[in-house]
């Protein structure tokens, strides 16, 4: 037992039978341990007895006796011997061998341990466990403080205070009764950081539990770190059940791959995957020790330069040594041999064949030695890469991690780190085509820093079964002579569902190849089948039967539409197949044609001039055309507009993902990039063949973003335009906008579908009735509002603001600021200061839409998109990064609380506090006017603003764009329900809303909100959807700010 400095509970000199207490050594398991003198045999012993406060504890006493009985059966050089079980003065005690030395935990606390020493100690402990387990005894508390190392380097396992005897089958009932007597219900025996998963769960234990604890201890010896230790016992227990320890190579490059494998196997969470016996563990440790010792001896015995001829010529006959390169050596050796020339000649003649074999064997040995050192160098290099592979995996750079892992795996075929990471960093893909024999190519995402993608790689010929590659996004190409080429995106992105993080199933692609002359130009094939819309904003739950069909690979381009005009499309009635309805009235064909004029008043898209599209825009999508014009073009091409069912199937094939956006290329998570996938930026449309990595499952481009697309169906609200468009939030991909047939916009285009000649049914082309109920809300009382306000009070503690980054442009200076926010966390804010305007400046406090709220784009990106014109006009833009934004993403596995819970209230209070602390910060600056602050919230930002602007009185003006109250808000928690706060906003309010808003309906959601808002207020409408035309919004908002804050000072 190691010596301790703890105050003795029993005085020195006290006698327990023939044992005289000398000092207290410490405490272990269930008892206090003392150094004592055996007065009869004149030897020092260690005595373990119950502390005074547990004398009356019958359970503890029985555990102590059980320990003695278990340990007394063990006679092994690495297990502390038990001499006697006794009782004196009403106290039970155990007399044990006194081992003078140092406990392993004290040794670890003083210094790091060398590999050889760690392996030696581990081997001896494994030897002890092998003996104990062979006798049916498990320790249940293997840890460094229960291992002592003597001055001679011998290891002893101490303290079987938690030992359990595994009884034979006929003793099970007795054992169960004993367990019931000596175990506290629900108690978990052991020391938490070293517990096995079975111990944490309170399950029945066997020897494999000791093996796990041993693995924890060995990991600590090699790394200096406990693999699962956390800030609390509960967190540690959770880590034992859920977390994988960092690879040992991260702590030291000298740890052999085999030792990493041994530790990893001992720490498997599933006991069936661990070493099944301590003996197996011991065999591997001893084998490794022997191998390392052999390598050490080989290194010491190998000459510095194994390529020298000298090592070979020594084994040859002395008389044949002389060479041109070594005349001196040869002369001396020849002189020596002349004295016994005859005898040596006879010896050489009889042994020449043997010598030749020896020379060959020596050459083989040298070559083998060279190979050994070459392989050892490669193994060392591969081992050194393990931390980097781990880092790349954690950074989700799976392509880089996989490539490096494959290189390292050549030299570390069974490395546990690579084995553990491989399911995360890699995926398998199977490809089957009808007919077989298609060449399969893959191209990786993302591109390099210059925007260049890696070249596609030929990976095989179909059928391909479970081809392993790096986890990530690819474009898959299928090519076979005589058949149309096929391309589509495939992805093995890891799935996140609330707290559940799961690997997706292997990728499996089954493709029917189309004979070349049967595939229409620039179209893709979509197989039919029953289909129901799955997008969250679907207008119907009807299920329809689709036949196989084709859909345009690209949106109809300006150049495509030019063909229609050149062919006299506006002059031929046969292409205009639908009745013209405008404002409820039917127009004649002649009158309808008067509506479809370009800027020169000639037939054509509204943005064209003299029937010509803008220069350089041939391959951009045609826009500014009505539903009727799109349908006429389709008829001109012998096609039709796709029904909403055909459009959505081609776009997403019925795929959904709970809690996150699903896009044509797969799941789109917070923080993911839209670059090269979809165009939702505010810079206008892109060419129709752009964003190849955003292809749909059937190879159609730009079905998300770029321009929304007219569909065939008529609804009670108008004609649908699907997919979202440039300048809109990415979630609009799942929206179903509805516009009048004569509506046109620079954000709306189309593509066409082509049904097979034998198609039956209408392919889901029915009219869709959209039922809408208009709710009426009653303003909440001042009394209730006063109670709700109490949740939003906060202490104005020091902000400690810091400007951590500054970026300068020609128009503004952008400052990134941190300050003390809610819950003692550092909040982040962005402040845009216009140049060339006198200070102090008016401020627009911006709270963004849900694309930022959900982590789909950054706050500064959204601010520069929405607010650049206002900054250039001389006003400051200010935004606070609240939790959930890209720079403050929720932790992995975070689950959003339901809006009717206290947890949701806590989230909203946290948000509002951070936003108000941002206003506190503005008051500290001399370059802004804290009395002239306007709130601006589009969409979801307006929803937050309804609460913020009600509790915060520092706003001189409030602007709500695309705002509304959904009926679904009614059951939300009252203290964070925007319905309850809207009627208490005192500042002057402006609502800007689209007549055809597809996200928050004007009639059912926006107008009920407007009625609830108190005066002063104003509602401005525009012809459009959820996102207003850019120029309209800038003009409207600048005019409003001039009116409510005052004109911007120019001098």
The predicted-structure confidence for 12-52, as pLDDT tens digits, reads as follows 888 888 899 999 887 755 678 889 999 888 899 988 876 65
Taking alpha carbons only, the member of 728, 1013, 712, 974 closest to residue 856 is 728
Specify the DSSP element, H or E, that contains 585. Answer: strand 585-587
* Contact (Cβ atoms closer than 8 angstroms) between residue 732 and residue 1026: yes
Q: Is 50 exceeded by the pLDDT of residue 308?
A: no
Residue 1024 CA: distances (Å) to CA of 262, 583, 744, 999, 1041 = 65, 16, 9, 12, 23
Q: Is 90 exceeded by the pLDDT of residue 370?
A: no
For domain 426-519, give the fold: Immunoglobulin-like (2.60.40)
Backbone angles phi, psi at 593, to 5 degrees: -65, -25
Q: How confident is the model at residue 295 (pLDDT cuts 50, 70, 90)?
A: confident
Specify the DSSP element, H or E, that contains 230. Answer: none
Q: How many helices (H) and strands (E) does the chain have?
A: 26, 42
| Packing angle of the helix pair 1030-1044, 859-872 (nearest 10 deg) | 60
pLDDT at 723: 93
pLDDT at 320: 27
Q: Is 70 exceeded by the pLDDT of residue 171?
A: no
DSSP 768: B
pLDDT at 16: 87
Concatenated DSSP letters for 383-419?
A: HHHHHHHHHHHHTT-HHHHHHHHHHHHTT-TT-HHHH
pLDDT at 787: 95
Residue 839 CA: distances (Å) to CA of 202, 918, 1044 = 67, 19, 18
Q: How confident is the model at residue 863 (pLDDT cuts 50, 70, 90)?
A: very high
Q: Is 80 exceeded by the pLDDT of residue 339?
A: no
Q: Is 80 exceeded by the pLDDT of residue 285?
A: yes
More confident residue, 290 or 342: 290
Q: Is 60 exceeded by the pLDDT of residue 313?
A: no
pLDDT at 376: 74
Encoded tokens for 310: 């000298």
Q: How confident is the model at residue 61 (pLDDT cuts 50, 70, 90)?
A: low
Residue whose entry in the numeric block shows the structure tokens 């000639």 = 602
Average pLDDT over residues 436-451: 86
Q: Give the pairing of strands 155-157 and 137-138.
A: unpaired
Encoded tokens for 312: 């070979």
pLDDT at 242: 79
For domain 531-755, give the fold: 3.90.1580
For domain 101-292, give the fold: Transferase(Phosphotransferase); domain 1 (1.10.510)
- Sequence ranges of the chain with CATH classification 3.90.1580.10: 531-755
CATH number attached to the domain at 15-97: 3.30.200.20
Q: Is 90 exceeded by the pLDDT of residue 535?
A: no
pLDDT at 440: 93
- Sequence ranges of the chain with CATH classification 1.10.510.10: 101-292
| Cβ-defined contacts of 253-259 (< 8 Å, 24+) | 253/380, 253/383, 253/384, 254/115, 255/115, 255/222, 255/383, 256/115, 256/288, 256/292, 256/383, 257/379, 257/382, 257/383, 257/412, 257/414, 257/415, 258/284, 258/288, 258/291, 259/115, 259/119, 259/222, 259/288
Q: Is 90 exceeded by the pLDDT of residue 448?
A: no
Distance CA 274, CA 302 (A): 38
> What average pLDDT does the structure give for the chain?
84
pLDDT at 58: 65
| Cβ-defined contacts of 677-680 (< 8 Å, 24+) | 677/704, 678/702, 678/704, 678/705, 678/706, 678/730, 678/733, 679/705, 679/706, 679/726, 680/704, 680/705, 680/724, 680/725, 680/726, 680/727, 680/728, 680/729, 680/730, 680/732, 680/851
Distance CA 416, CA 670 (A): 31
* Chain segment 640-680, per-residue pLDDT in tens: 999 999 999 999 998 877 556 788 988 777 667 888 899 98
> Which of 375-379, 840-844, 886-890 has the lowest average pLDDT?
375-379
> Which of 536-545, 559-568, 971-980 has the lowest average pLDDT?
536-545
Q: Is 80 exceeded by the pLDDT of residue 321?
A: no
* Contact (Cβ atoms closer than 8 angstroms) between residue 401 and residue 480: no
Q: Is 70 exceeded by the pLDDT of residue 688?
A: yes
More confident residue, 573 or 893: 573
Highest mean predicted confidence (pLDDT) among 25-29, 76-80, 496-500: 76-80
- Sequence ranges of the chain with CATH classification 2.60.40: 426-519
Distance CA 1000, CA 1008 (A): 11
DSSP E strands in 162-306: the ranges are 164-165
Residue 927 CA: distances (Å) to CA of 367, 503, 831, 841, 1024 = 77, 51, 11, 6, 38
> Which of 101-115, 116-130, 600-614, 702-716 has the lowest average pLDDT?
101-115
Residue whose entry in the numeric block shows the structure tokens 């049916």 = 136
* Contact (Cβ atoms closer than 8 angstroms) between residue 597 and residue 606: yes
| Cβ-defined contacts of 34-38 (< 8 Å, 24+) | 34/8, 34/10, 35/1, 35/3, 35/98, 36/95, 38/95
Q: Is 70 exceeded by the pLDDT of residue 373?
A: no
Average pLDDT over residues 520-549: 91
* Contact (Cβ atoms closer than 8 angstroms) between residue 718 and residue 996: yes
SS3 660: coil
* Contact (Cβ atoms closer than 8 angstroms) between residue 627 and residue 711: no
Average pLDDT over residues 521-543: 90
Neighbours of 444 (CB within 10 A): 18
Distance CA 93, CA 15 (A): 12
Q: Is 80 exceeded by the pLDDT of residue 1002?
A: yes
> Which of 120-134, 672-686, 1013-1027 has the lowest average pLDDT?
672-686
% of residues, the chain, pLDDT over 90: 55
- Sequence ranges of the chain with CATH classification 3.40.50.1820: 782-1044
Taking alpha carbons only, the member of 519, 925, 570, 876 closest to residue 699 is 519
Taking alpha carbons only, the member of 647, 483, 453, 622 closest to residue 549 is 647
Q: What does pTM read for this prediction?
A: 0.60
pLDDT at 65: 67
Average pLDDT over residues 696-703: 94
Q: How confident is the model at residue 871 (pLDDT cuts 50, 70, 90)?
A: very high
Encoded tokens for 864: 């520069």
Q: Give the pairing of strands 826-834 and 543-546.
A: unpaired
* Contact (Cβ atoms closer than 8 angstroms) between residue 492 and residue 471: yes
% of residues, the chain, pLDDT over 70: 85
Residue 292 CA: distances (Å) to CA of 11, 104, 259 = 50, 23, 11
Average pLDDT over residues 777-804: 95
Q: How confident is the model at residue 153 (pLDDT cuts 50, 70, 90)?
A: confident
* Contact (Cβ atoms closer than 8 angstroms) between residue 78 and residue 94: no
Q: How confident is the model at residue 361 (pLDDT cuts 50, 70, 90)?
A: low
Q: Is 80 exceeded by the pLDDT of residue 702?
A: yes
Give the end-to-end CA distance of the chain in Å, rounded to a whole number.
85
CA 765 and chain centroid, separation: 41
For domain 782-1044, give the fold: Rossmann fold (3.40.50)
More confident residue, 478 or 153: 478
Average pLDDT over residues 422-434: 92
Average pLDDT over residues 500-509: 79
Residue whose entry in the numeric block shows the structure tokens 């130009």 = 521
Specify the DSSP element, H or E, that contains 666. Answer: strand 666-668
Backbone angles phi, psi at 679, to 5 degrees: -105, 100
Average pLDDT over residues 283-287: 90
pLDDT at 350: 39
* Contact (Cβ atoms closer than 8 angstroms) between residue 978 and residue 1008: no
Q: How confident is the model at residue 433 (pLDDT cuts 50, 70, 90)?
A: very high
Residue 593 CA: distances (Å) to CA of 564, 573, 613, 742 = 15, 10, 19, 11
Encoded tokens for 614: 């803008």
Distance CA 710, CA 723 (A): 9
pLDDT at 169: 34
Neighbours of 346 (CB within 10 A): 10
pLDDT at 94: 84
Highest mean predicted confidence (pLDDT) among 414-423, 887-896, 935-944: 935-944
């Amino acid at each position: 037992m190691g010596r301790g400095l703890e105050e003795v509970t029993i005085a020195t000199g006290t006698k327990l039978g023939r044992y005289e207490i000398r000092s207290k050594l410490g405490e272990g398991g269930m008892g206090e341990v003392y150094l004592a003198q055996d007065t009869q045999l004149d030897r020092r012993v260690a005595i373990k007895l119950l502390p005074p406060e547990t004398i009356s504890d019958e359970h503890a006493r029985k555990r102590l006796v059980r320990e003695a009985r278990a340990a007394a059966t063990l006679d092994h050089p690495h297990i502390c011997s038990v001499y006697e079980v006794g009782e004196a003065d009403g106290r039970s005690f155990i007399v044990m061998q006194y081992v003078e030395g140092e406990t392993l935990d004290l040794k670890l606390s003083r210094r790091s341990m060398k590999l050889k020493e760690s392996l030696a100690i581990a081997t001896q402990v494994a030897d002890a466990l092998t003996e104990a387990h062979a006798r049916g005894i498990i320790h249940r508390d293997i840890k460094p403080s229960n291992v002592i190392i003597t001055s001679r380097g011998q290891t002893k396992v101490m303290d079987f205070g938690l030992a359990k005897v595994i009884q034979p089958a006929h003793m099970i009932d007795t054992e169960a009764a004993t367990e019931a007597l000596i175990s506290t219900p629900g108690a978990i025996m052991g020391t938490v950081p070293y517990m096995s998963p079975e111990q944490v769960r309170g399950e029945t234990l066997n020897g494999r539990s000791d093996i796990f604890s041993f693995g924890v201890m060995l990991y600590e010896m090699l790394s200096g770190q406990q693999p699962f230790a956390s800030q609390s016992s509960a967190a540690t227990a959770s880590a034992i059940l859920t977390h994988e320890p960092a690879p040992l190579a991260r702590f030291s490059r000298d740890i052999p791959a085999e030792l990493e494998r041994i530790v990893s196997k001992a720490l498997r969470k599933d006991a069936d995957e661990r070493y099944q016996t301590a003996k197996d563990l011991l065999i591997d440790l001893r084998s490794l020790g022997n191998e390392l010792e052999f390598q050490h001896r080989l290194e010491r015995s190998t000459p510095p330069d194994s390529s020298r001829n000298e090592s070979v010529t020594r084994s040859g006959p002395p008389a044949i040594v002389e060479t041109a390169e070594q005349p001196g050596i040869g002369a001396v050796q020849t002189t020596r041999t002349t004295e016994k020339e005859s005898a040596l000649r006879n010896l050489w003649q009889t042994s020449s064949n043997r010598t030749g074999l020896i020379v060959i064997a020596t050459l083989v040995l040298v070559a083998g030695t060279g190979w050994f050192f070459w392989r050892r160098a490669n193994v060392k290099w591969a081992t050194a890469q393990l931390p980097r592979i781990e880092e790349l995996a954690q950074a989700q750079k799976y392509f880089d991690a996989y490539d490096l892992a494959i290189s390292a795996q050549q030299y570390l075929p069974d490395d546990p780190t690579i084995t553990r990471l491989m399911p995360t960093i890699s995926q398998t893909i199977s490809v089957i085509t009808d007919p077989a024999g298609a060449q399969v190519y893959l191209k990786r995402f993302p591109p390099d820093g210059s925007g260049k993608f890696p070249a596609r790689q030929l990976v095989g010929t179909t059928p391909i079964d479970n081809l392993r590659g790096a986890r990530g996004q690819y474009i898959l190409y299928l090519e076979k002579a005589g058949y149309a080429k096929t391309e589509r995106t495939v992805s093995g992105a890891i799935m996140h569902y609330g707290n559940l993080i799961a690997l997706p199933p292997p990728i499996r692609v089954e493709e029917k190849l189309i004979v070349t002359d049967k595939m229409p130009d620039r179209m893709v094939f979509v197989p039919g089948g029953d289909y129901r819309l799955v997008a969250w904003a679907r207008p119907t739950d009807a299920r329809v039967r689709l036949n196989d069909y084709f859909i345009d690979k690209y949106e109809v381009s300006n150049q495509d539409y030019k063909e229609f005009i050149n062919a006299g499309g506006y002059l031929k009635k046969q292409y205009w197949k639908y009745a013209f309805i405008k404002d409820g009235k039917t127009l004649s064909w002649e009158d309808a044609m008067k509506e479809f004029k370009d800027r020169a008043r000639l037939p054509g898209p509204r943005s064209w001039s003299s029937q010509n599209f803008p220069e350089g825009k041939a391959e951009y999508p045609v826009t500014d055309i009505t539903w009727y014009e799109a349908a006429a073009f389709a008829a001109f091409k012998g096609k039709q507009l796709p029904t909403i069912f055909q459009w959505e199937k081609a776009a997403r094939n019925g795929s959904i993902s709970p809690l996150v956006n699903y896009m044509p290329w797969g799941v789109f998570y917070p923080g993911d990039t839209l670059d090269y996938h979809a165009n939702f930026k505010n810079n206008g449309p892109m060419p129709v063949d752009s964003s190849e990595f955003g292809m749909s499952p059937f190879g159609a481009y730009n079905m998300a973003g770029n321009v929304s697309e007219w569909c065939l169906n008529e609804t009670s609200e108008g004609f649908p335009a699907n997919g979202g468009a440039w300048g809109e939030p990415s979630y609009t991909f799942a929206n179903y906008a509805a516009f009048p047939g004569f509506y046109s916009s620079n954000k709306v285009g189309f593509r066409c579908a082509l049904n097979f000649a034998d198609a039956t049914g209408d392919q889901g082309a029915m009219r869709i009735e959209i039922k809408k109920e208009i709710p009426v809300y009653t303003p909440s009382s001042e009394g209730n509002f006063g109670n709700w306000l109490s949740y939003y009070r906060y202490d104005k503690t020091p902000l400690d603001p810091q400007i951590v980054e500054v970026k300068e442009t020609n128009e503004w200076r952008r400052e990134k600021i941190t300050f003390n926010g809610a819950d003692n966390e550092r909040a982040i804010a962005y402040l845009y200061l216009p140049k060339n305007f006198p200070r102090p400046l008016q401020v627009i406090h911006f709270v963004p839409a849900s694309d930022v709220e959900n982590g789909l784009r950054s706050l500064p990106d959204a601010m520069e998109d929405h607010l650049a014109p206002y900054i250039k006009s001389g006003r400051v833009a200010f935004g606070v990064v609240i939790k959930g934004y890209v720079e403050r993403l929720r932790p992995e596995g975070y689950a959003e609380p339901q809006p009717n819970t206290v947890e949701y209230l806590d989230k909203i209070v946290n948000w509002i506090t951070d936003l108000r602390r941002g206003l506190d910060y503005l008051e500290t600056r001399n370059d802004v006017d804290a009395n002239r602050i306007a709130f601006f919230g589009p969409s979801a930002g307006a929803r937050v603003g309804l609460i913020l602007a009600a509790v915060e009185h520092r706003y001189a003006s409030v602007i709500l764009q695309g705002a509304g109250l959904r009926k679904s808000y009614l059951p939300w928690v009252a203290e964070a329900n925007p319905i309850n706060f809207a009627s208490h906003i005192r500042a002057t309010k402006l609502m800007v809303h689209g007549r055809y808003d597809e996200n928050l309906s004007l009639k059912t959601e926006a107008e009920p909100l407007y009625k609830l808002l108190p005066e002063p207020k104003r509602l401005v409408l525009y012809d459009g959807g959820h996102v207003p035309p850019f120029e309209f919004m800038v003009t409207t908002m600048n005019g409003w700010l001039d009116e409510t804050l005052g004109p911007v000072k120019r001098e």
